[in-house]
Amino acid sequence: MSFALRFSCLLLALVAGCTSDGGFDLRVDLRTDYRPVYRFQSVRVRILEAPTDEDVRRSAESPASTGADYLTGVRVGSFSSLPEGRYLLDVALLNGGTPIATREIEIVLDQNTTVNAVMTASCEGLTCPGTADSSDATECVSGRCVAPDCTPETPEACPMAICTSDSECAAIGDCLSGRCVDGDCFQSPDDSACEAGSFCDATGFCEPIPVMMTDMGPAPRDLGPPRLDGGPPRPTLAFDTPQPGGCIDLGQDYTGPGEFTYRRTITGPARGSATQWNDHVSCGDPEAEGGTFPLDASGVFQDTFQSPPLPSCWDIIYGRWNVTAEVGGVRSAPVTVTYYNSDCPNVSTCAAASSFCSPCRFCDDTEYCYSGLRCEPEPELTIETSNGPGCVDLGVEHADPPALNVIITGRPNATATQYNQQVSCPGASRDAAETRTLNAAGRVEEPLLTGAVSDCGSSVYGRWEVEQEIDGQVSNTVEVVYYNSSCASVATCSTARTHCP
């Protein structure tokens, strides 16, 4: 599990985001240039076809937010513990419950998967398939008909990319500019080019802002029954934060004496039990339980949390949270806490983070957030050796099997850099040795064939630690010991473990 995810799970005990119930998780992100709230107020994701009948009825609906960046992707659905097999999804943008745009996506689920549903306003009024299209091109993206299995994650199922840069995407109106995202053209609006009271639509026209369609966020949570006269007081929850207004800068170090990331105080009935609930309101995700805490004889629980700087700029923790404490079925008033990072351009201020929602907030413990856009598998290194686990005898020829076989898995089409460190020599440096490119399946395999080595003074003999780095993510460490059965000083794997040329 990455440091960032471990940090977040500890910080707010977001259990729902850190565990899995078995099966595979399917996450659906939406990329669209339809205007949220003004053109659609919610997004519905349904499973139309699935390997088992019980999954057909599953669906998710999330409210639209004007503060979210739908051009790069916003999480709109998450389904857990799904069986392996083929699925057909229906994604609909809803205006008052009526679909204004729909997209069907066909996927094969054989691992935890994130799929991007691309829905562009350039498809309005088009019917697919067209007269020149194949019969299976039933969906529309970027103004052209594509097959249901065409997604950014499966470019091989799509026609050739329309663009490689923003300059190749023409703006269709004075208040718009073209944006290229993963080969598709979108229209990016500039409301300042429109008169007051209007917004820039993806059609290129300035339209009046609809009455009563403002982004109010999710409905308030039920705080439980009101206090009866003479009854116990409603529990209270307070967060003292280092920055005013419930703001916490996770780019700072809070590990020094007297410092804290936050100080939490809960009050309620003496010796009661308080349950914390965390509502990520800048994302609209389901409320999650954040732990249970015992109240003392005075009816108080207090703790202080300290943390080092958080290195990730796309962690699930960033954004605005409403936090409540529940005691005996009664909720406290909500407290707003906003996590930001002054070292990260995307969440550099508390105000910027108040509407932030990481597209990678549902990455599991084997994934990392690639470019802040999607979850990708963390790099993994396997080295198969010819002379027992982690041992290679260079004194003999290695053809079949090879001396060693390097296997790297990770993000498809990524570049992996290998780092070697001769740990049998104290103080040896960790050096970049070579790079390899993973294939479209996220794998590369490279066998090493050798002849018998007669040089007993070679600098290669000894114990090495090997790692792979992809997108700044470091793989597991693998140990390899090189020895030579023809050389007395390094005749066995055991003796070579401590050898330093």
For residue 455, is pLDDT > 80? Answer: yes
pLDDT the model gives residue 54: 65
For residue 444, is pLDDT > 90? Answer: yes
For residue 96, is pLDDT > 60? Answer: yes
Mean pLDDT of 25-52: 89
Nearest CA to 400 out of 444, 446, 449, 445 is that of 449
Tokens 């003796």 map to which residue? 495
Range of lowest pLDDT (76-85, 104-113, 164-173, 427-436): 76-85
**What confidence tens digit (pLDDT) does each residue in 304-341 have?**
999 999 988 888 899 999 899 999 888 888 888 999 99
Mean pLDDT of 352-367: 85
Range of lowest pLDDT (2-6, 290-294, 355-359): 2-6
Mean pLDDT of 404-427: 95
For residue 91, is pLDDT > 50? Answer: yes
**DSSP three-state, residue 167:** helix
- Mean pLDDT of the residues in the chain: 86
pLDDT the model gives residue 63: 80
For residue 229, is pLDDT > 50? Answer: no
Mean pLDDT of 423-439: 94
- Residue 95 token pair: 């205006």
For residue 76, is pLDDT > 70? Answer: yes
For residue 230, is pLDDT > 80? Answer: no
- Residue 62 token pair: 């999330």
CA 300 to chain centre: 36
For residue 382, is pLDDT > 70? Answer: yes
**DSSP three-state, residue 32:** strand
What's the 3-state SS for 88-114? EEEEEEEECCEEEEEEEEEEEECCCEE
pLDDT tier for residue 2 given thresholds of 50, 70 and 90 = very low
Domain 240-353 - what CATH class? Answer: mainly beta
| Percentage of the chain lying above the pLDDT 70 cut | 90
For residue 228, is pLDDT > 60? Answer: no
For residue 122, is pLDDT > 60? Answer: yes
11/306: higher pLDDT: 306
pLDDT tier for residue 368 given thresholds of 50, 70 and 90 = confident
pLDDT the model gives residue 372: 78
The pTM assigned to this predicted structure is 0.47
R_g (Cα) of the chain, nearest Å = 28
Tell me the residue ranges of DSSP E strands in 311-414: 319-327, 330-331, 335-340, 367-370, 374-377, 380-385, 391-393, 404-409
Q: 240-353 and 378-496 share one CATH topology?
A: yes
pLDDT the model gives residue 213: 41
161/362: higher pLDDT: 161
**What confidence tens digit (pLDDT) does each residue in 244-291 have?**
888 999 999 999 998 999 999 999 999 999 999 999 988 887 788 999
5/406: higher pLDDT: 406
pLDDT the model gives residue 22: 58
For residue 205, is pLDDT > 70? Answer: yes
pLDDT the model gives residue 19: 39
pLDDT tier for residue 18 given thresholds of 50, 70 and 90 = very low
Burial track 220-234 (b if 16+ CB lie within 10 A, e otherwise): eeeebeeeeeeeeeb
CA pseudo-torsion sign 240, 243, 245, 246 = negative
Cα(179)–Cα(163) distance, rounded to whole angstroms? 9
- Residue 19 token pair: 């565990």
For residue 220, is pLDDT > 90? Answer: no
Mean pLDDT of 335-355: 92
Tell me the residue ranges of DSSP E strands in 288-366: 288-294, 300-305, 319-327, 330-331, 335-340
Determine the topology of domain 378-496 in CATH: Immunoglobulin-like (2.60.40)
- Residue 426 token pair: 């104290």
Domain ranges of the chain: 21-217, 240-353, 378-496
CB atoms within 10 A of CB 379: 24
Range of lowest pLDDT (121-125, 224-228, 433-437): 224-228
Mean pLDDT of 150-176: 91
Question: Is the bond preceding residue 401 a cis peptide, omega within 30 degrees?
Answer: yes
